[in-house]
Amino acid sequence: MSSTTKKSFLRGVRDGAPFLLVVGPFALLFGVVATEAGLSVVETMGFSILVIAGASQFTAVQLMVDQAPTVMVLAAALAVNLRMAMYSASLTPHLGRAGIWTRALVSYFNVDQTYALAIARYEREPAAPVRDKIAYFFGTAAPVCPFWYVFTLVGALGGEAIPPGLALDFALPITFLALIAPMLKSLAHVAAALTSAIVALALAWLPSGLSLLIAAGTAMTVGALVEMWQERQSAWT
d(CA 9, CA 135): 5
Instruction: Please say if the pLDDT value at position 17 is more than 70.
Output: yes
Q: How far is CA 208 from the centre of its chain?
A: 17
pLDDT tens-digit map of 113-172? 899 899 989 988 888 999 999 999 999 999 999 999 998 998 888 765 555 555 555 555
| pTM > 0.75: yes or no | no
Q: What is the pLDDT of residue 95?
A: 92
Instruction: Please say if the pLDDT value at position 182 is more than 70.
Output: no
Which whole number is the average pLDDT over 206-229? 76
pLDDT tens-digit map of 63-109? 777 777 778 777 777 777 777 888 888 899 999 898 999 999 999 99
Most confident of 14-18, 31-35, 74-78: 14-18
Which whole number is the average pLDDT over 31-51? 85
